[in-house]
Structure 1
Amino acid sequence: MEDRNGPLGLAVSGGPDSLALLLLAAAALPGEIAVASIDHGLREEAASEVALVEGLCAALDVPFTAISVRLERGNLQAKAREARYAALREWACDQNLGAVATAHHADDQAETLLMRLARGSGLPGLAGVRAGTLLPDSEIALIRPLLWARKADLEALVASAGITPAQDPSNASRAFDRVRVRQHLAQHDWLDAEALATSAGHLAEAARALDWYAELDWEEMVALEDDEDSPTYRYYANVPRVIQIETVCRIVSALGGRVSRSEAGRAADRLWRGENASLGGVLASASSEPMEGTPLHWRVWRFSPEPPRRTH
């Protein structure tokens, strides 16, 4: 945290994990933290949970902000997460915070890895919960300093402080994939949550290496061509597929489009076969060009905005 400018913000729900984060941060960084607690409007008990956090912050002399959000229709947990991070971003900007921390821990990491393995996720997904990233659509650091900690130890810390944490009943509902995975882990002691979290950490290192090579690929193999009609990116695509996918995603984003990695992968496969592709509002064409001074050819892919559709 040496590079942090401004207080450290904590997202505290009133559950045992986030209360442990508050207690640890208050002891380690006295006078340098602030807390926000978010009511998602889903349960009547949420208001009392926010009040619990507010009372503890008052006792610890920690600045506190209560936030209420409204959720859009759709996947409940996904929409709650989106609304939560958007609210934290706005709060961090208003309070000039240097970073925001959440209480994700080793058990969360193990659950996330198993869920994503079951879904066939690629390397970026299997990296799990990152120790450090950015709040969505911002340059504000989002950190998870408790990824090394076990949930039971965090619960014991809160209990030893004489605090009764809030208990969200959704954490026991088998309607959610994460709860079923959590119960499966508890039932099978050969599945070591700490070891799974360690594996997720190794995968995160590999994902960072992938990011490094993808950045190099972008810098050295992608160029914006002069085109009076529309911007066109030329990509010399001669790297492994996993890096191609990252670069294709970045090119589409630079042209104002949005595309998932799976969509970029399917487009890369078509282009590799010499076929054209359309993705995220971008047209991509495949060709080859000779390497100067050699009999070899480069695979060259060009990307430009898809022309507007004609209407009658």
Structure 2
Amino acid sequence: MQLTESPADRFAADLAALWPDDERTGPLGLAVSGGPDSLALMLLAHGALPGRIAVASIDHGLRPEAAGEVALVERLAGERGIRFNAFTLTPQPGNLQAQARAARYAALAEWARAAGLGAVATAHHADDQAETLLMRLNRGSGLAGLAGARASTTIEGSEITLLRPLLGWRKSALEAVVAAAGITPVRDPSNANPDFERAAMRERIAASSDWLDPAQLAASAAHIAEGWQAIAWYAGLDWDEMVAPDESAPGGVGYAYHANVPRVVAIETIMRIIAELGGHATRAEAARAWDRLWQGENASLGGVLAVPGVERVEKVGVLMRVWRFRPEPPRGKMN
């Protein structure tokens, strides 16, 4: 008779696959809001790593109920002897959800550094991945966007490892973990507000449950992520082998790119060249630049001018496309 794997054992295996024992340099930090997903993360991690986790809860200053939700997490963590920290953020103008997300991750990175944590984990799960994949398909996103949330990455702008060990878990399974512990989680009303794109997509998925399987959609996102990882590796190779400093550029500041790879790879290389020259370009902008350069037209993006050409490359002895990138001259001084 085969025994059913317990949620605790399943979580421990999922975490070990992302964060092996020999790579753990400190406790695991958890972002816990008081909702069912993050509370399940706390309960599962406490079972798998007793005494080796810490919890942070963030009040974004957007809802009056948030302070009480942070207090709930503090109480539940205290009952289990889990180290706890609370943070209050000041809302910034603009897209509230995007600004809150950026501020949340910045706060988590700062907390991880100050507390000496080995990594930070969030409670993104399979249903989240399914929603993200469908939203981005609907926007015509490229492979990087369709890959969804990565199971292991770093917090943007930092060196802090970010883990998402629940990407293979359905939301219903996480809610069952919390219910089994006798805990009533909080419910953020914005998660059910169809004015927000994600909430609207969640409603549509639920209405199509007879033929849409969120677990399989999440698996597809994981497969796309593997493909994207291969492209990122190839782009690194393209940079090492096909990009060189352009000594002919004014002041010697520029790069020559021997463009001979598929468009999706070249876009990554173009973005990196722009960044190395002090600019910034989105993938969409880099894609448009590739289109122009491939057609033999100059391209300007992120404060950088790219000029296409065809040259004989000595080391291979053949004619190749060579695109030269250099800081864009001030207006009125272009020759």
Specify the TM-score bucket, using the shorter chain as the normaliser: over 0.9
CA shift, 1:229, in A, is 1.6
1:266 aligns with 2:266: no
**Coordinate RMSD, CA, aligned:** 1.5
The corresponding residue for 2:6 is: none
Does 1:276 find its partner at 2:298?
Answer: yes
Question: Is the partner of 1:229 in helix, strand or coil?
Answer: helix
The answer for the alignment partner of 1:121 in structure 2 is 141
Q: Name the structure 2 match of 1:203.
A: 224
**Secondary structure at 1:91 match in 2:** helix
Q: Is the 8 A contact 1:14 1:49 kept in 2?
A: yes
Identify the match of residue 204 of structure 2 among 184, 194, 208: 184
> In the alignment, which residue of structure 2 is the partner of 1:225?
246
Give secondary structure in 1 for the equivalent of 2:251: coil
* CA distance, structure 1, for counterparts of residue 240 and residue 205 of structure 2: 43
Percent of paired sites with the same residue:
62
Query: Aligned equivalents of 2:42 and 2:73: distance in 1?
Result: 9
Counterparts in 2 of 1:294 and 1:44: CA distance versus 1, 3 Å = closer
Deviation digits for residues 227-285 of structure 1 (CA, Å, limit 9, x no counterpart): 56251111000100000100000110111111100000000110111111100111111
Distance in 1 between residues matched to 2:147 and 2:82, nearest whole Å: 33
Task: Name the aligned partner's letter for residue 246 of structure 2.
Answer: E
Q: Give the superposition deviation at 1:296.
A: 3.9
Does residue 150 in structure 1 map to residue 170 in structure 2?
A: yes
Q: Distance in 1 between matches of 2:191 and 2:307?
A: 48
Taking the aligned partners of 1:305 and 1:55, their CA distance within structure 2 comes to: 55
1:68-83 alignment runs, 5 A limit: 68-83=88-103
SS at the partner of 2:172?
helix
Specify which of 108, 111, 117 is matched with residue 91 of structure 1: 111
Q: Determine whether 1:37 maps to 2:75.
A: no
- Compute the displacement of 1:306 (Å): 1.6
SS of residue paired to 1:37: strand
More displaced stretch, 293-302 vs 264-273? 293-302
Q: CA deviation at 1:70?
A: 1.4
Residue of 48, 51, 68 corresponding to 2:68:
48
Q: Could you tell me which amino acid in structure 2 is paired with residue 250 of structure 1?
A: R
Q: CA 1:291–1:16 in 2, change beyond 3 Å: closer, same or farther? A: same
Q: Is the 8 A contact 2:246 2:252 kept in 1?
A: no
Equivalents in 1 of 2:239, 2:258: separation in Å?
A: 10
- CA distance in 2 between counterparts of 1:114 and 1:240 reads 26
| Kept after mapping to 2: 8 A contact 1:230/1:305 | no
Q: CA deviation at 1:307?
A: 2.5
Question: Which AA in structure 2 matches 1:220?
Answer: E
Residue identity opposite 1:202 in structure 2: H
Mapped to 2, the partners of 1:46 and 1:155 lie a distance apart of 20
Please state how far the C-alpha of 1:292 moved relative to its aligned partner.
3.9
The residue matched to 2:237 in structure 1 has which SS? Answer: helix
The alpha-carbon deviation at position 310 of structure 1 amounts to 6.4
Aligned residues: 311
- What TM-score does the superposition give when structure 1 sets the normalisation length? 0.97
Q: 1:158 to 1:304 in 2, by over 3 A?
A: same
Q: Tell me the alpha carbon deviations over residues 124-183 of structure 1, each in whole angstroms, 9 at most, x when there is no partner.
A: 100011101110111110010000100001001101101010110001101101011101
- Taking the aligned partners of 1:62 and 1:50, their CA distance within structure 2 comes to 14
Q: Which residue of 2 aligns with 1:241?
A: 263
Q: Partner letter of residue 188 of structure 1? A: S
Look up the equivalent residue of 1:303 and give its one-letter code: F
Q: Which deviates more, 160-169 or 294-303?
A: 294-303
Does the CA contact (< 8 Å) of 2:127 and 2:214 recur in 1? Answer: yes
Length-normalised TM-score, structure 2: 0.90
Cα pair distance change 1:232/1:48, threshold 3 Å: same
Contact preservation (8 Å) 1:132, 1:143:
yes
1:66–1:275 CA distance, 2 compared to 1 (3 A): same
Q: Which deviates more, 225-234 or 179-188? A: 225-234
The alpha carbon displacement at 1:54 in A equals 0.3
Structure 1 unaligned residues grouped into runs of 5+:
none
8 A contact 2:125–2:168 mirrored in 1: yes
Q: Distance in 1 between matches of 2:31 and 2:67?
A: 15
Partner of 1:112: 132
| One-letter amino acid of the counterpart of residue 267, structure 1 | A
Q: Distance in 2 between matches of 1:293 and 1:223?
A: 13
Contact 1:104 1:144 in 2 (8 A): yes
The counterpart of 1:216, out of the listed 211, 233, 237, is: 237
Residue 74 of structure 1 and its aligned partner are, at CA, apart by 1.0
